[in-house]
Amino acid sequence: MNILFLDQSGKLGGAELSLIDVASAFGDRCLVGLFADGPFRQALEQHEIPVKVLTDQPLLVHRNSSFWQSLKSLRQIVRLVGKIVRLSQDFDLVYANTQKAFVLSAIASLFTHHPLVYHLRDILSPEHFSQTNLSLAIWLANHFATLVIANSQATKQAFIEAGGRAEIVKVVYNGFEPASYRVPLSTSSELRQQLNLDNRFVIGHFSRLSPWKGQHILLEALTHCPDNVVALFVGDALFGEQEYVEQLHHQVTESRLSDRVRFLGFRSDVPQLMTMCDLVAHTSTVPEPFGRVIVEAMLCDTPIVAAAAGGVVELIEPGKTGWLAPPGDALKLADVIHQCRRRPEQTSTIAHRAKLKATQCFQLAHTNQQIAALLNTIVKPCSSGFEPTRMDMTKQ
Ligand code: UDP
């Protein structure tokens, strides 16, 4: 089966890292088409996944764009749709990994009639999208998607609540290679020394810097913790959230936390950094679709506390494999930090159990098998290769 994957971003967010894992299974039987150039293209090339950047101008439509703002990009949209139509001739199906990629692929499918898969990695709700974008995504999914793969039950539920057809959506959790998260103890203690963090209780926060990722909540929690508790923020403002970055730095100064907070920017050694931490905190203020960092912390054997909303509650059993705190509740977060410090043995038992659970439940090989099985039901083999057929999802 030959697949044309499409993604709107040139940057390395969670959706893009997950796509590398999915596309790797198809090797040279796929092409990843991008709507922007950047580190994502380089990462795909490093993994020897064929990639093509489809435009040299970034699409000016955003998650919160109104109908009229979207209309301004019409010429660019038409050009991109034309490219997708031409490219897709050589493939058995089109697989959209992000919302904009899906919208354009859906329009293209009017001309190509290829099966269209929408890998839904967003919570389609007004908290995340403008009403225009939300309604458009749902309408197009209902009319043009052969299959919607949701990355959690929460993502699936939001899709259905927004008016999406329940019979076309299937849940497949993201998968991980546990071996990539096995870090020698010597590496993490060297890293701790390099960063001058010996004898500190280190809380890691791994996420792009963005208001809804809630870095400010961890800063607030820190003010309720003793001085030897420090925070590392790993990640960059990927989508122009410069104002929030300034706000965070201001909060650090105002709260006299300068000696206890580091911003490391985007890093490609997440497993090493996570293993070095005493606790990983996830603080999204609105429902998180999945939360890759949670499973990654588990695989690193590092305790995790996360904001209890969206897909997160499907990943953590509170008190057994981690901790949950209500989104935006800095005091509750500080309370969990105290507990972890006070009861290190209980904390590491929970982390070991979480590692076992994540290793069993989130294997990349299993995720890729599930995706392949779903794709096989919508693209049937025939003598001359593969013949696309519309899937009767109600039989699934
Ligand atoms: N990440 C990374 N380097 C960084 C910060 C984050 O590689 O400096 C990775 C992180 O390990 C995770 C992904 O970015 O795999 C973020 O995915 P998640 O689902 O947590 O959030 P999203 O970006 O999809 O909102």
396: pLDDT confidence band, cut at 50, 70 and 90? very low
Closest residue by Cα to atom 6, ligand 1, is 207
Q: Ligand 1: does its nearest atom lie under 6 Å from the Cβ of 286? A: no
Span 202-222, pLDDT tens digits: 999 999 999 999 999 999 999
Question: What is each CA distance from 15 to 230, 238, 290, 292, in whole angstroms?
Answer: 29, 13, 10, 9
Q: Which residues contact 142 (CB under 8 A, 6 or more apart)?
A: 163, 164, 165, 168
Identify the three-state secondary structure at position 124: coil
Count H helices and E strands in the chain, helices first. 16, 15
113: pLDDT confidence band, cut at 50, 70 and 90? confident
Span 278-329, pLDDT tens digits: 999 999 999 999 999 999 999 999 999 999 999 999 999 999 999 999 999 9
Task: Name residue, tokens 């997950």.
Answer: 18
Residue 60 pLDDT greater than 70, yes or no: no
Which ligand 1 atom is at minimum distance from the Cα of 282?
20
Q: Ligand 1: does its nearest atom lie under 6 Å from the Cβ of 303? A: no
Mutation to probe ligand 1, out of 21, 127, 173, 208 (largest number of atoms < 8 A from CB) = 208
Whole-structure pTM value: 0.93
Mean pLDDT, to the nearest integer, of 57-68?
65
Q: Quote the pLDDT of residue 386.
A: 41
Task: Report how far ligand 1's centroid is from the alpha carbon of 18 (Å).
Answer: 10
Task: Report how far ligand 1's centroid is from the alpha carbon of 204 (Å).
Answer: 13
Which ligand 1 atom is at minimum distance from the Cα of 296?
11
Distance CA 363, CA 359 (A): 6
Task: Report how far ligand 1's centroid is from the alpha carbon of 112 (Å).
Answer: 34
Q: Quote the pLDDT of residue 76.
A: 84
Q: Quote the pLDDT of residue 59.
A: 74
Q: Ligand 1: does its nearest atom lie under 6 Å from the Cβ of 289? A: no
Q: Is the backbone of residue 319 left (phi > 0), alpha (psi -120 to 50) or beta?
A: left
Q: Quote the pLDDT of residue 290.
A: 98
Residue 343 pLDDT greater than 90, yes or no: yes
Q: Ligand 1: does its nearest atom lie under 6 Å from the Cβ of 310? A: no
238: pLDDT confidence band, cut at 50, 70 and 90? confident
Q: Quote the pLDDT of residue 380.
A: 67
Strand 379-382 to 385-388 pairing: antiparallel
Mean pLDDT, to the nearest integer, of 118-137?
92
Residue 30 pLDDT greater than 50, yes or no: yes
Span 136-194, pLDDT tens digits: 999 999 999 999 999 999 999 999 999 999 999 999 999 999 999 999 999 999 999 99
Q: Ligand 1: does its nearest atom lie under 6 Å from the Cβ of 288? A: no
Which ligand 1 atom is at minimum distance from the Cα of 288?
25
Q: Ligand 1: does its nearest atom lie under 6 Å from the Cβ of 266? A: yes
Residue 386 DSSP class: E
253: pLDDT confidence band, cut at 50, 70 and 90? very high
Mutation to probe ligand 1, out of 8, 293, 298 (largest number of atoms < 8 A from CB) = 293
Task: Report how far ligand 1's centroid is from the alpha carbon of 120 (Å).
Answer: 17
Which ligand 1 atom is at minimum distance from the Cα of 238?
23
Task: Report how far ligand 1's centroid is from the alpha carbon of 158 (Å).
Answer: 22
Percent of the chain with pLDDT over 90: 85
127: pLDDT confidence band, cut at 50, 70 and 90? confident
Q: Quote the pLDDT of residue 62.
A: 63
Residue scoring higher pLDDT (82 or 387): 82
Q: Quote the pLDDT of residue 67.
A: 61
Which ligand 1 atom is at minimum distance from the Cα of 270?
11
Q: Ligand 1: does its nearest atom lie under 6 Å from the Cβ of 292? A: yes
Q: What does the H/E/C string look like for 225-258?
A: CCCCEEEEEECCCCCCCHHHHHHHHHHHHHCCCH
Half-sphere exposure of 273 (CA within 13 A, CB side): 22
Residue 390 pLDDT greater than 50, yes or no: no
Task: Report how far ligand 1's centroid is from the alpha carbon of 151 (Å).
Answer: 15
Mean pLDDT, to the nearest integer, of 244-261?
97
